[in-house]
Structure 1
Amino acid sequence: MEVFTDKLKEVLQSVLPITILVVILHFTIAPLPGIEFPRFLFGASLIIVGLAIFLFGVDIGITPIGNYLGKEIARSNSLKFVMVMGLILGFFISIAEPDLIILANQVSEVTGGAIPSTVLLVVVSIGIAVMMTAGLFRIVYRYPLRNVFAIIYALIFSISIFSSNDLFAIAFDASGSTTGALTVPFMLALAMGVASLNHDSKSAEIDSFGLVGVASSGAILGVLILGLFTGDSGITGTLSVDADAYSSWLTPFVDSLPHMAFETILSIAPIFLIFIIYNFFIAKRKMAVSELKKSMLGLVYLYAGLVLFLTGVNAGFLNVGRQLGMMIAGMDSKLPVLFIGLLLGLVVILAEPAVYVLTHQIENVTNGSVRRGIVLVFLSVGVGLAVLLSVVRVLIPSILLWHYLVPGYIIAIALAFRVPNLFVGMAFDAGGVASGPMTATFILAFIQGVAEITPHSNVLLDGFGMIAMVAMMPILSLQLLGAIYQQRSRKEGV
């Protein structure tokens, strides 16, 4: 009970800032119409309770399972086994990821079905499976991570020259959306399990990071390769806001709960089934019975928490984000929307469940030398700037997404060859985890609202791409932290 109480306190500290910000906006410059304000507050309550339960479940459920499977995969000493398990795990944990489902549905909605959600889900999941397998091989063979990312992003930008412009923003958004509340804890635990078999503890510490970053690049490659076959079609989109769709603030939650419960079962079931089949029918070393029972209980907590969390996000936050974007961007001055965009980015990162998991793992594997608080500060500033630059891109039509991403990733790859290896993996993992369910719903909805109300703006081309920015900026900010850490270590050494 004490562990859960501690997690509840931490979640309150994370979610309250964005809740307070929306409350202040409601009573000042952007009053929410009708039932939207109580709807938002109830959603925030569900998010707080759900996130606390979810994180408790991660600790006693997903982390032990991921560590167990990671160690077993590495112990097999079979390249075929590593490849098969990587492909299976990569495909099934991504195709049912709630964040990716949210993005795929939004893409299908604003394109009027021109880009079907099922096609996007399958293409992205295949890409994730292939690159996660490559990431596991990298850990086993200890190939330098910086070289891997240099090759990957050179390939990505080469393909993007020939791919459809319609899918460029969606490709990078999909990368961020695949690394959400469920996949990140599992991937981190899996990487740690594989890396832990390395007897050199320092190398194992370094190799335990980077799998999330490598795997998420598969989503970009998958969508861009799809674009090679579709070509530019001039797709445009429109945005719907259901301000008057409900007569009661409770109705959206009642409608959303069964849907979220079903989607969450789809998210957890593949990992559960793969683990059960492997543990009982394939593995030579079975998980201890006591640990097995504890892990199963953890999955129950994880399921309940994730259902509450996603219900709160989808029914309470998504529509409010769109409305705030449209109201604030519709003002005579554009300064408020720029300032609010920056503030939202600064605080939303604190409420991402996967960020919580990653920052704690960073603190644990570095024995506290890289503190969670300082990592959160650098992540928060990076995401704040990402949302601000995304608003600027919507307001100024001549600024295109690649104007940000190409130089940004060139700088990121260059930094990777100058900062400590540990920070390279942490930075690219952070790029994936920063863009979780809160970003994929509330902030994306806010940007889409801004794009909908802004003349000459296209919701599809300008409303998407924000997740890509949120995924890139933490890579730069954490590598900057690595450079500072390196400089401080040198001074202390002297």
Structure 2
Amino acid sequence: MTEKFFEVIQSVLPIVLFVLLLHFTIAPLEMDALGRFLMGTAFVVIGLTIFLVGVDISLSPIGEYLGKGITLSNKLWIVVAAGLVIGFFVPIAEPSLLVLANQISTVTGGAIGSMTILIVVAMGVALMVALGILRIVMNFSMKNLFLGTYLLILILGFLAPGEFLAIAFDASGATTGAVTVPFLLAIATGIAQMKKDSRSSEEDSFGLVGIGASGAIISVLILSILSGQDEIQGSLDPGAEITANIFQVFGAEMLRQAQEVFLAISPIVMIFLVYQIFSLKLKRQRLRRIVFGLIYVYIGLIFFLSGINAGFLETGTLMGYNLAASGNEVYLLLASFVLGMVTILAEPSVSVQTRQIEDITGGSIKGGPITAALSIGVGLAIFLSMLRILVSDLELWHILLPGYILALGLSRVVPTHFVGMAFDAGSVATGPMVTTFVLVFIQGAAQATEGANVLIDGFGMIALVAMMPMITLQLFGFIYTLRSKALENEKT
């Protein structure tokens, strides 16, 4: 617990310093708002610490047990059914997606309902997770699967209304957050470890998160095409007054989150209990440890999401609005880049993935360079998102199309395990911090910028955050491979 606490402090501190720097220089906050942000920070630190401990002793083992159980069944229909069930219920349990769905409903005035987004996204993820598990079991090419999937997305993107393009990619990013990522990573690892070929096992441990996230894009784009719904308007009120005192705000939020988090994680708990009763049959001591871990996850998420919703959301909106309203575009773009770089450090799923990479590669690939590549990629993504707001003729597809062409091109020349890492990292980067603080920061700036549309320009940021790590991590893998070959040649 102490180790996790200091890890979280180091992660959250850059964001706090960023906000305080802007507060005391170019974007001052009201004292009440600053107080809620600071209390929210305390809640986030406590929540992340408890949550990460819970992930290590509950969600990750549950995922590995389920993954191995799926493989041991030796029946294709069980593999497909398990992939569909897990793929459907895990994203519904994802807090980041719940936050995004509510934000979409709020901005569109209910024209796009939060429950509609949740169900459609869950269906798409379920289909692609089942396909991803089949890929591991049947040994067909990860690179070809990603290529075919994103070619389909490209075609659907040209057919779908522009308002839905940003929402579809954002939904994909929000799907893979604090709950989904460790769970799917563990399932992929559990299935891959059952293979006799160690090299194949290492490669197949990655990629399931990335392919599952693509299902959200596909399903939302298909929904938009079939519904024929377009010309949706959006708006946001960054100056909404809060009359309750700080303790009332956080108390009410904790009660609300206690209910929502319970509903969010209960499907995962039920799936595990059914598996435990009918097949797994863990010993009492091991089962007790997992139960305590789930309690940690529950408590940690309540504190974390309460801190986000009662402190971080308001601060992010006001910061973005005030910076854009000041008219200094250089400061706005610079702040966006720095915000992206420091925010990724606070994502809990990033530390989960970097630890997994180090473990699976036996320490040959360190977590530090991976985190640095992610940080630069996310910084560029937030910078480009803000540039879209300031440059009216710059559309989302102008960035996504060449970006994904580059990412898919790199996937043909980079070693397979780096491809899986990169596409997983694109999903991992879009966790609770990005889908909350940074999202409303961008939307606040869009609301304050003349000619910008909050619905079109305020969304799409998560899409860019999901894309850029695919490029930067594959470039890292390309350089890493060249250096490794050079060192081998020197030894010979």
Partner of 1:53: 50
Letter in 1 for 2:365: V
Q: How far did 1:34 drift? A: 3.8
Q: How does 1:421-432 map to 2 (within 5 A)?
A: 421-432=416-427
Q: How far did 1:242 drift? A: 5.1
Measured in 1, the distance between the counterparts of 2:227 and 2:445 equals: 28
Q: Indicate if the aligned counterparts of 2:238 and 2:321 stay in contact, CA closer than 8 A.
A: no
Partner of 1:374: 369
- Structure 1 residue 486 corresponds to structure 2 residue 478: no
Measured in 2, the distance between the counterparts of 1:30 and 1:250 equals: 25
Partner of 2:212: 215
Deviation by residue 1:410-446 (Cα, 9 ceiling, x = unmatched): 1101100111111000000000010111001100000
Q: How far did 1:33 drift? A: 1.4
Measured in 2, the distance between the counterparts of 1:141 and 1:435 equals: 29
Measured in 1, the distance between the counterparts of 2:233 and 2:391 equals: 18
Q: How does 1:156-195 map to 2 (within 5 A)?
A: 156-195=153-192
Letter in 2 for 1:207: D
Partner of 2:463: 468
Q: 1:197 is paired with a residue of what secondary structure?
A: coil
Q: How does 1:260-271 map to 2 (within 5 A)?
A: 260-271=257-268
Q: 2:451 is paired with a residue of what secondary structure?
A: coil
Partner of 1:109: 106
Q: How does 1:321-400 map to 2 (within 5 A)?
A: 321-400=316-395
Partner of 1:42: 39
Which sits farther off after the overlay, 259-268 or 377-386?
259-268
Deviation by residue 1:447-485 (Cα, 9 ceiling, x = unmatched): 000100001111000000000000000110100110011
Q: Indicate if the aligned counterparts of 1:36 and 1:249 stay in contact, CA closer than 8 A.
A: no
Partner of 1:302: 297
Deviation by residue 1:154-180 (Cα, 9 ceiling, x = unmatched): 001111111222210000000000001
Unaligned runs of 5+ in 2: none
Measured in 1, the distance between the counterparts of 2:6 and 2:243 equals: 33
Partner of 1:318: 313
Deviation by residue 1:171-198 (Cα, 9 ceiling, x = unmatched): 0000000001011111011110011000
Q: How far did 1:247 drift? A: 4.2
Q: How far did 1:307 drift? A: 0.8
Letter in 1 for 2:168: A
Q: Indicate if the aligned counterparts of 1:175 and 1:220 stay in contact, CA closer than 8 A.
A: yes
Measured in 2, the distance between the counterparts of 1:247 and 1:263 equals: 22
Q: How far did 1:200 drift? A: 1.3
Partner of 1:436: 431
Q: Indicate if the aligned counterparts of 1:184 and 1:354 stay in contact, CA closer than 8 A.
A: yes
Letter in 2 for 1:217: S
Partner of 2:409: 414
Measured in 2, the distance between the counterparts of 1:221 and 1:236 equals: 23
Measured in 1, the distance between the counterparts of 2:483 and 2:138 equals: 31
Partner of 2:65: 68
Measured in 2, the distance between the counterparts of 1:232 and 1:50 equals: 39
Letter in 2 for 1:96: A
Q: 1:214 is paired with a residue of what secondary structure?
A: helix
Match of 1:89 among 86, 89, 99: 86
Q: TM-score, normalised by structure 1?
A: 0.98
Measured in 1, the distance between the counterparts of 2:268 and 2:184 equals: 11
Q: Indicate if the aligned counterparts of 2:93 and 2:179 stay in contact, CA closer than 8 A.
A: no
Q: 1:474 is paired with a residue of what secondary structure?
A: helix
Q: TM-score, normalised by structure 2?
A: 0.98
Q: Indicate if the aligned counterparts of 2:239 and 2:318 stay in contact, CA closer than 8 A.
A: no
Q: 1:35 is paired with a residue of what secondary structure?
A: helix
Q: How far did 1:49 drift? A: 1.1
Q: Indicate if the aligned counterparts of 2:345 and 2:375 stay in contact, CA closer than 8 A.
A: yes
Measured in 1, the distance between the counterparts of 2:424 and 2:455 equals: 27
Q: 2:433 is paired with a residue of what secondary structure?
A: helix
Letter in 2 for 1:70: G
Letter in 1 for 2:363: G
Q: How does 1:126-205 map to 2 (within 5 A)?
A: 126-205=123-202
Partner of 2:25: 28
Letter in 2 for 1:235: I
Partner of 2:449: 454
Q: 2:388 is paired with a residue of what secondary structure?
A: helix
Partner of 1:403: 398
Q: How far did 1:142 drift? A: 1.8
Partner of 1:119: 116
Letter in 2 for 1:313: I
Q: Indicate if the aligned counterparts of 2:176 and 2:213 stay in contact, CA closer than 8 A.
A: yes
Letter in 1 for 2:336: G
Q: How far did 1:232 drift? A: 4.7
Deviation by residue 1:235-280 (Cα, 9 ceiling, x = unmatched): 1111023552234233321121111111111221111100101120
